[in-house]
Structure 1
């Protein structure tokens, strides 16, 4: 009986420790999600970072790629043999991304979430209703 109780306490401890260690990673990944715009004339106008089935993805007109973490705020763009370094302000908020891939250096700024949400709502409000 004592062995069973000891095993149960150890199991709860290990599960708690593993959840505590993985929580910051999930928060960090969620902070990266959003739309990033690049300067006019760039090979890519914008990229969208999304979380699909627990995998961080970057989508653009050039294609899609998984992002694999290589350092803090630095990710490998696997399908384009490049890197994406996310930038933060003094409040640790993600403000942009610098992409080095296929001989290009692209510096983009993150669109505020409210702008994206407003654009979506605006599009819905302007859609005609057919009866």
Structure 2
């Protein structure tokens, strides 16, 4: 099983590809599936802001496009921000589609410190079809 630190490092590598000409807010994510595969993503900003995509969703889309039905074990999120970074509301709903309440969110800060929280604690009573 991949360690939290190794997953964080993969997210950090993904962050280097972030396309953020407007906000300059670089984010990377690395998710671990229950099958043991890792998928990474970065945020991509578009001039039409509604078309912008977060790092977490980029990683999810990549995983679904390769695996089909997806079950997420954990996801690490990194940024160049001094505070801890957590998924936005839209990303939380997307994650709810592919994870249970026990999925781990690894939230990091610029200093390299991290916290691990249960998904059910950051989105209680998530709307799901299962």
TM-score (norm 1): 0.28
Q: Which is higher, the Rg of structure 1 or of structure 2?
A: 1
Which structure carries more strand by proportion? 1
Q: Give the alignment's TM-score, normalised by structure 2.
A: 0.28
Higher relative contact order (CA 8 A, sep 6+): 2
